[in-house]
Each structure stands twice: as structure tokens, then as C-alpha cells.
Amino acid sequence: MSSEGDTTLKSICYKPGSLQLLDQRKLPLETTYLEIRDTADGWKAIQEMVVRGAPAIAIAAALSLAVEVFNFNGFDGSSTDAVAFLDNKLDYLVSSRPTAVNLADAAVKLKQVIKNALATTAIEPKSIFKAYIEAAENMLEDDVASNKAIGNFGSSLLRQQAQNPDKLSVLTHCNTGSLATAGYGTALGVIRALHTQGVLERAYCTETRPFNQGSRLTAFELVHEKIPATLIADSAAAALMKDGRVDGVIVGADRVASNGDTANKIGTYSLALCAKHHGIPFYVAAPLTSVDLSLSSGKEIVIEERTAKELLNTHGGLGERIAAPGISVWNPAFDVTPAELIAGIITEKGIITKNDNDAFDISSFAKKMT
């Protein structure tokens, strides 16, 4: 379905047996929802960035499989076959975008749910499928609660660290709001919380080239929420900081290594360097599902490289060509910000701060909180 001018911020519309994803490639000028009938539709929507944002990707993937199995007319196989079927589908979905850890983390947790169902109660395939569907639906509900907790912890931290806790201006990058999650947002959720508390003077958002998630999506959300906001070119961030207009920088994360190195949208590393130079605190806001304790550092994070068309053409590759014919392109979707540039990591369980050695001990924090 499609409608012009509809400013709904619900990126995932789900009910049992039905999933619709807001096509974020067409925002803010057109609001179009795409029907997702199975994992093939889900994989394509994720890979083509109909849906984006690490938490939203994970939930959309999980629900695409939930819809597929909900609408089965019948399954020709045993309970063990059902588990194998779901495992294979989850592996397929994980391959859609490799950098965001939330998707892989969700797959691991869902595989454990169906494995437990097989070992305990399931005698027939439909019991396995029911257990899977319930677990996927719970992920949708849990994400909103998690985001609101991040918003509260983050707003408290920024106010504590600010020279004037009752008047803050914050810079953010990419889109980490309702459109990137099941609702509310991570880094943008912190900005939303500051605004609700009446202490946000201004939110600044970068364009976030080449896909323009900042100008198309974050700006869209900020205007919709009537939050005082200003859009800047990616290359204007340093000048903005030099002018003293920024009290803090807050971004999301697609994957956080155990030492705190953080992969996020390309351009994040540049912002962290600028913030360090200007003495401005730089924070990462992300759920613990974005933490990958299997990685010792950011050097091990796989960085997705995207199509050259995103740079060669307007509108993130969807419009007319503007680059010179014959030019080669390097288009990494993410970069890695070293932990040394990060002042704190805001999670739904609290703030991960550095120890006496000026290092993050995320493993101990995660174990303590879970």
C-alpha cells in the first residue's frame, strides 16, 4: 500500500501471519509499505535497505520467517526436520547484511529456542513453529522497552557530563530512531528523552552520505516529533564543533567488539576524531545485542562494501548519474571507531565506562547484567 504525505514512524507493522515494512528508500517524500510474505522477501528487503538499522534488521528478519511458517498449509516432515528448516532459513537471513551483529545474535537465540522446544515439548512440527513465532514476537516487544531504557540512561549521562545540564545541543549521525528499531530509537532515543525532559536546545544531524539516512530519515523523525533540529553536511561537523555549538556526540552501533571498538555507519570515525580534538564527549548508544564478545577488537569486524551506484547516482544510487563516467568507487558502508575515542557506551542495562586503565571491560559488564 502507498500513500503520499503519511508521516507515520512505524517501520515494522506486524500481526500474526502478516508483516509490512516501511520502504525507507522512498522517505521522506513517499510513504510506502511493502508486504513481506517469506524469508526471500525479508532477505531482499534487508539487503536492498528497505529496512535498515541493526535492531530493525534483526526483528524484520525474525518476523519474515515467522510469517512464512505461520502461513504454512502443511509441513511435510518431522519435528527434527522443522528445526533444520528453521536453522537453514535463519542462516540464509543472516547472510543479507554481515556487519550488524544483532541479526546474527537474534539467529543464535532463536535457534536455541527451537532446539529447546524440540527437547522438551514438541512432538510435531507445528509445536516447533509455534515456539519460534512466539520468540520472534517477543523480540519485537523487547526492543521498544530496551530503547526507552537506553534513552533514560543516556539522557542522565549527558546531563551529568555537561557544563550546563539544562541546556544541551547534541550531534548525531545516520539514523538511530524509530525507523532503525522497533520503536523509539537508541542514539536518537537519547535525544528524544532529552527533549522530553525539556533540556535539549538543539539536535544536529548529519546528511550521512551516500545513502542520506540523516537528511532523509533522522530529519524526518525530528521534524515529526517537533524536536528543534538542524541538518548539516557531513563535512561541516568539525566547523560546528569549533564554533562551540555541540555539547556531545551520540551515535548508534552495528557491532561493538569486546574492547569497545565500534562499527557504525561510515563517517562515524571522522566524527569521533573531530570530537576528541575539540574536547567533546563522544558516546555510543546500543543494546547489548550489538556487542560481539567473540571479537577481541574492531580489526576482526567484517565491513560490508556496497554498490558503486550509491556514489555514482543521486538519491543513494536510485536517481540519475552525477559522477564522471569511468571513475572507480570505494564504498564501505561502515567504519570502526577505536575505543580510545569513545567516552562511554550506553546500553539498556546501564552505562559501560572505562576502568582505571582507560579501557572498557564489556565482558564483565555483560556477564554481570545478564
How many domains are contained in the chain? 2
Calpha distance 223→10 (Å, rounded): 15
- Is 139 in the same domain as 156? no
The residues that bridge with 284 in the sheet, in sequence order, are 251, 345
DSSP per-residue codes, 102-125: HHHHHHHHHHHHHHHHHHHT-SSH
- Is 123 in the same domain as 244? no
- Is 198 in the same domain as 311? yes
| 182, part of any domain | yes
- Is 180 in the same domain as 246? yes
- Is 170 in the same domain as 302? yes
Q: In 227-301, where do the E strands start and end?
A: 229-232, 248-251, 255-257, 262-265, 282-285, 291-292
- Is 196 in the same domain as 293? yes
Quick one: CA dihedral 338, 344, 346, 350, positive or negative?
positive
Last residue of a domain, one of 143, 178, 195: 143
Last residue of a domain, one of 143, 178, 199: 143
| 2, part of any domain | no
- Is 212 in the same domain as 172? yes
The one-letter amino acid code at 203 reads A
Which residue range(s) make up the domain with 167? 151-368
Asked if residue 176 lies in contact with residue 285, where contact means CB atoms within 8 angstroms, the answer is: yes
| 5, part of any domain | no
Q: Side-chain half-sphere of 285: how many Cα atoms within 13 Å? A: 38
What are 130-172's pLDDT values in tens digits? Answer: 999 999 999 999 998 999 999 999 999 999 999 999 999 999 9
- Is 139 in the same domain as 183? no
DSSP element (H, E) containing 87: helix 79-94
Asked if residue 263 lies in contact with residue 253, where contact means CB atoms within 8 angstroms, the answer is: yes
What pLDDT is attached to residue 6? 38
Q: Domain with 275 in it: what CATH number?
A: 3.40.50.10470
- Is 210 in the same domain as 327? yes
Q: Side-chain half-sphere of 15: how many Cα atoms within 13 Å? A: 0
Active site residues: 254
What pLDDT is attached to residue 370? 74
**CA separation, residue 38 to residues 8, 59, 79 (Å):** 24, 14, 20
**CA separation, residue 61 to residues 37, 73, 88, 201 (Å):** 11, 21, 13, 37
- Is 202 in the same domain as 257? yes
Q: Which of 278, 238, 257, 246 lies closest to 338 in space, CA to CA?
A: 257
Last residue of a domain, one of 115, 143, 171: 143
Asked if residue 22 lies in contact with residue 33, where contact means CB atoms within 8 angstroms, the answer is: yes
| 6, part of any domain | no
Q: Is 312 helix (H, G, I), strand (E, B) or coil?
A: helix
The residues that bridge with 352 in the sheet, in sequence order, are 345
**CA separation, residue 166 to residues 98, 172, 228, 248, 291 (Å):** 40, 19, 15, 14, 31
What pLDDT is attached to residue 9? 73
Question: At which residue does the C-alpha cell 537519547 appear?
Answer: 190
The residues that bridge with 231 in the sheet, in sequence order, are 205
What pLDDT is attached to residue 122? 57
Name the burial class of residue 14, with classes exposed (0-12), middle (13-18) and buried (19+) by CB atoms within 10 angstroms of its CB. buried
Number of neighbours of residue 92 by Cβ within 10 angstroms = 16
Q: Which of 106, 115, 137 lies closest to 16 in space, CA to CA?
A: 137
**pLDDT tens series, the chain, 370 aa:** 433 333 447 899 999 999 999 999 999 999 999 999 999 999 999 999 999 988 999 999 999 999 999 999 888 899 999 999 999 999 999 999 988 789 999 999 999 999 999 988 657 899 999 999 999 999 999 998 999 999 999 999 999 999 999 999 999 999 999 999 988 999 999 999 999 999 999 999 999 999 999 999 999 999 999 999 999 999 999 999 999 999 999 999 999 999 999 999 999 999 999 999 999 999 999 999 999 999 999 999 999 999 999 999 998 888 999 999 999 999 999 999 999 999 999 999 999 999 999 999 999 999 998 7
- Is 303 in the same domain as 186? yes
If you ran DSSP here, which 8-state letter would residue 217 be given? I
- Is 200 in the same domain as 102? no
Calpha distance 157→149 (Å, rounded): 12
| 171, part of any domain | yes
- In sequence order, the 6+-apart residues with CB closer than 8 A to the CB of 38 are 64, 65, 67, 68
Q: Which residues of 249-270 are buried (b: 16+ CB within 10 A; e: fewer)?
A: bbbbbbbbbbbbbbbbbbbbbb
